[in-house]
């Protein structure tokens, strides 16, 4: 160390924090705790959710935060403190690997996927500019190319990127559509259109689609909702009529947004027909395949996506049904010429004029994020270990479980499935004898209350929703370790909590 080094004490403390031997010791601690935790949860030990009221938990997190060690703590003390913190965190999180976690569209992820992410986190691999994250870039490209091929496209003709979540992915794709439809709006603003532009959207589309219209300055009232058929799929005839009406009114059309599948009951829109209509009206077709894009990895289920290859843009969340940890959402464009239109860059050599050929590899030109974590490491790693068969297996098993649950609900006199599932999302109601004379509103409230009791008990983690304004229970079998036995238990658990709820209500 030279004489002009400032803050020698500060440097000593920093070296203690960066100590590779602390990393080694803490890391081995973590692996032991995580593996034990994983084994326990997979075998169904303990509650799915250890429920606490949020203000109490925030207070606890603040108290722990303030019990840091003194600045001269040695390696052993630091490693011990690390172990304590890991214990606190594991004991208070939601246990997605518990077979009775069948809740939101967030999976019990393949455990080793998280280790590939960890490599990225500890070494802080990022993207934005190619040379900041060469391997992060390469791994992302390899997966974008592979999944695009799975849709039916040819490498070199399409383009894609990974971003932080489905909402951001939908926003990114729709922003591209907006800039293509309204040529000067990037510079001049949406106000430059003489007539207000519209977006035509599946009525059950995720809230982020309408939110995107609010965010990008179109206004949520310019979102036209297209009606559904009896199975809650977009009705192609109604889409055709709406497009004809909008064209007649001369209103610019930013995009048609279809779903594969939609959130509420997992309904897959008829993409072939929709694509044909969009082609005829010359409008951009965007497909939200965040959840359902996975079907193209399963020979048994890929028919659900027939027509997806005709979309102009689509999104696909690997952190849903490709079972990697959040967040890893893909945006794919059928035509790679749209590569730089999201942010309207005419000059793809923007980032480094001394190496213009590299611009396509600079993710920051194409994603909302500038610095972006190596979000595709988990996906690339799992694929490189197990190949496509594992992904097909996970789709098949969980989609099949949707059907099995449906059949169990049909067979039970006190349960009512509200649709025939196309995938692993199932919406239903519990109808105990005590509810026989309840009106629809009371029946809906009962489902919501029941759900809250069940999750707070820790017995199961499920979700509630509203279908046509009436509360219902909703399950996504997104833990491939969940068995038919668990589903039998679900029905019994709901009956049990339902009884107590009725007694208390009376």
Residues from 101 through 120 that contact a second copy (CB under 8 A): 103-120
Is residue 498 at the binding interface for a second copy, with CB under 8 A as the rule?
A: no
Is residue 167 at the binding interface for a second copy, with CB under 8 A as the rule?
A: yes
Residues 321-380 close enough to bind a second copy by CB under 8 A: 325-327, 343-344, 352-355, 358, 361, 368-373, 377-378, 380
Is residue 82 at the binding interface for a second copy, with CB under 8 A as the rule?
A: yes
Is residue 502 at the binding interface for a second copy, with CB under 8 A as the rule?
A: no
CB 272 within 8 A of CB 258: no
- Residue holding tokens 């929709």? 274
Is residue 17 at the binding interface for a second copy, with CB under 8 A as the rule?
A: yes
CB of 280 to a second copy, least distance (A): 27
CB of 462 to a second copy, least distance (A): 11
Nearer to a second copy, 210 or 277 (CB): 210
CB of 135 to a second copy, least distance (A): 4
CB of 309 to a second copy, least distance (A): 21
Residue 141 makes CB contacts below 8 A (sequence gap 6+) with 361
126 CB-side CA count, 13 A: 11
Nearer to a second copy, 89 or 245 (CB): 89
Could you tell me the sign of the dihedral formed by the alpha carbons of 244, 250, 251, 252, in that order?
Answer: positive
Strands of the 285-288 sheet, one edge to the other: 159-163, 329-333, 313-317, 285-288, 253-259, 198-202, 223-226
Nearer to a second copy, 310 or 336 (CB): 336
Provide long-range contacts, Cβ within 8 A and 24+ apart, for 149-156: 150/296, 150/297, 150/388, 151/293, 151/296, 151/305, 151/308, 151/309, 151/314, 151/332, 152/296, 152/308, 152/309, 153/309, 153/332, 153/334, 156/336
CB of 457 to a second copy, least distance (A): 12
CB of 206 to a second copy, least distance (A): 7
CB of 419 to a second copy, least distance (A): 20
CB of 397 to a second copy, least distance (A): 5
Which two structure tokens, joined as six digits, stand for 213?
């219209």
Is residue 505 at the binding interface for a second copy, with CB under 8 A as the rule?
A: no
- For residue 53, what is the DSSP state? -
CA distances from 454 to 104, 401, 448, 492 (A): 15, 21, 10, 11
Residue 66 makes CB contacts below 8 A (sequence gap 6+) with none
Choose among 360, 367, 366, 363: nearest CA to 128. Answer: 363
Helix (H), strand (E) counts: the chain: 16, 13
User: Could you tell me whether strands 198-202 and 223-226 are parallel, antiparallel, or unpaired per DSSP bridges?
Assistant: parallel
Is residue 412 at the binding interface for a second copy, with CB under 8 A as the rule?
A: no
User: Could you tell me whether strands 159-163 and 198-202 are parallel, antiparallel, or unpaired per DSSP bridges?
Assistant: unpaired
Nearer to a second copy, 234 or 382 (CB): 382
Is residue 54 at the binding interface for a second copy, with CB under 8 A as the rule?
A: yes
CB 260 within 8 A of CB 320: no
CB of 279 to a second copy, least distance (A): 27
The only residue of 100, 102, 137, 173 in contact with a second copy, by rule CB under 8 A: 137
Nearer to a second copy, 273 or 351 (CB): 351
Residue span 425-464 as binding mask against a second copy, x where in contact by CB under 8 A, dash where not: --------------------x--xx-xx--x-----x--x
Is residue 390 at the binding interface for a second copy, with CB under 8 A as the rule?
A: yes
The only residue of 76, 92, 279, 492 in contact with a second copy, by rule CB under 8 A: 92
Residues 272-331 close enough to bind a second copy by CB under 8 A: 319, 325-327
Alpha-carbon distance of 261 to 186, in angstroms, equals: 31
Residues 192-231 close enough to bind a second copy by CB under 8 A: 192-193, 196, 206-208, 211, 214-222
Alpha-carbon distance of 161 to 140, in angstroms, equals: 7
Size, binding site for a second copy by CB under 8 A: 183
Nearer to a second copy, 307 or 378 (CB): 378
Residues 239-258 close enough to bind a second copy by CB under 8 A: none
CB of 185 to a second copy, least distance (A): 7
Nearer to a second copy, 10 or 245 (CB): 10
The only residue of 129, 265, 308, 491 in contact with a second copy, by rule CB under 8 A: 129
Residue 257 makes CB contacts below 8 A (sequence gap 6+) with 170, 174, 199, 200, 201, 202, 205, 209, 286, 287, 288
DSSP letter for each residue of 123-146: HT-EESSGGG-HHHHHHHHHHHHH
CB of 166 to a second copy, least distance (A): 7
- When computed from its CA atoms, the radius of gyration of the chain, rounded to whole angstroms, is 25
């Amino acid at each position: 160390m030279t004489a002009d080094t400032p803050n020698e004490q500060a440097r000593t403390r920093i070296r203690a924090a960066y100590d590779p031997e602390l990393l080694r010791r803490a890391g081995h601690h973590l692996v032991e705790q995580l593996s034990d935790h994983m084994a326990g949860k997979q075998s169904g030990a303990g509650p799915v959710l250890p429920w606490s009221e949020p203000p109490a938990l925030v207070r606890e997190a603040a108290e722990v935060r303030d019990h840091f060690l003194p600045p001269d703590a040695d390696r052993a003390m630091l490693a011990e403190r690390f172990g304590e913190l890991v214990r606190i965190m594991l004991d208070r999180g939601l246990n997605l690997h518990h077979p009775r976690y069948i809740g939101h569209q967030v999976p019990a992820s393949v455990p080793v996927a998280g280790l590939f992410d960890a490599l990225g986190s500890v070494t802080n691999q990022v993207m934005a500019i190619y040379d900041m994250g060469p391997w992060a870039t390469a791994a992302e490209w390899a997966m974008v190319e592979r999944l695009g091929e799975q849709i039916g496209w040819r490498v070199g003709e399409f383009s894609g990127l990974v971003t932080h979540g489905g909402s951001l992915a939908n926003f990114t794709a729709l922003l591209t559509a907006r800039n293509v439809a309204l040529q000067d709006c990037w510079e001049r603003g949406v106000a430059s259109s003489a007539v207000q532009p519209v977006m035509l959207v599946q009525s059950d589309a995720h809230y982020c689609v309408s939110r995107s219209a609010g965010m990008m300055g179109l206004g949520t009232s310019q979102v036209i909702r297209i009606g559904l058929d009896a199975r809650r799929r977009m009705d192609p005839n109604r889409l055709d009529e709406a497009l004809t009406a909008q064209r007649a009114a001369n209103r610019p059309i930013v995009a048609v947004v279809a779903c594969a599948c939609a959130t509420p009951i997992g309904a897959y829109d008829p993409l072939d027909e929709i694509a044909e209509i969009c082609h005829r009206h010359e409008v951009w077709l965007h497909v939200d395949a965040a959840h359902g894009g996975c079907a193209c990895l399963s020979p048994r289920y890929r028919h659900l996506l027939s027509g997806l290859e005709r979309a102009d843009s689509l999104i696909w969340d690997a952190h849903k049904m490709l079972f990697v940890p959040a967040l890893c959402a893909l945006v794919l464009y059928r035509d790679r010429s749209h590569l730089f239109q999201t942010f309207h860059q005419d000059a793809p050599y923007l980032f480094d004029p001394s190496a213009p050929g590299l611009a396509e590899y600079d993710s920051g030109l194409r994603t909302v994020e500038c610095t972006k974590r190596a979000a595709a490491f988990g996906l690339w790693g799992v694929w490189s270990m197990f190949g496509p068969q594992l992904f097909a297996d996970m789709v098949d098993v969980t989609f099949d479980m949707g059907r099995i649950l449906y059949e169990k609900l049909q067979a039970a006199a006190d349960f009512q499935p509200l649709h025939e599932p196309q995938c692993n999302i199932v919406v239903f109601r519990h109808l105990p004898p005590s509810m026989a004379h309840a009106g629809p509103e009371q029946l809906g409230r009962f489902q919501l209350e029941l759900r809250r009791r069940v999750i707070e008990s820790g017995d199961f983690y499920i979700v509630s929703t509203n279908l046509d304004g009436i509360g219902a229970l909703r399950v996504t079998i997104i833990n491939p370790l969940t068995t038919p036995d668990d589903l039998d238990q679900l029905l019994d658990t709901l009956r049990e909590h339902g009884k107590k709820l009725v007694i208390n209500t009376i």
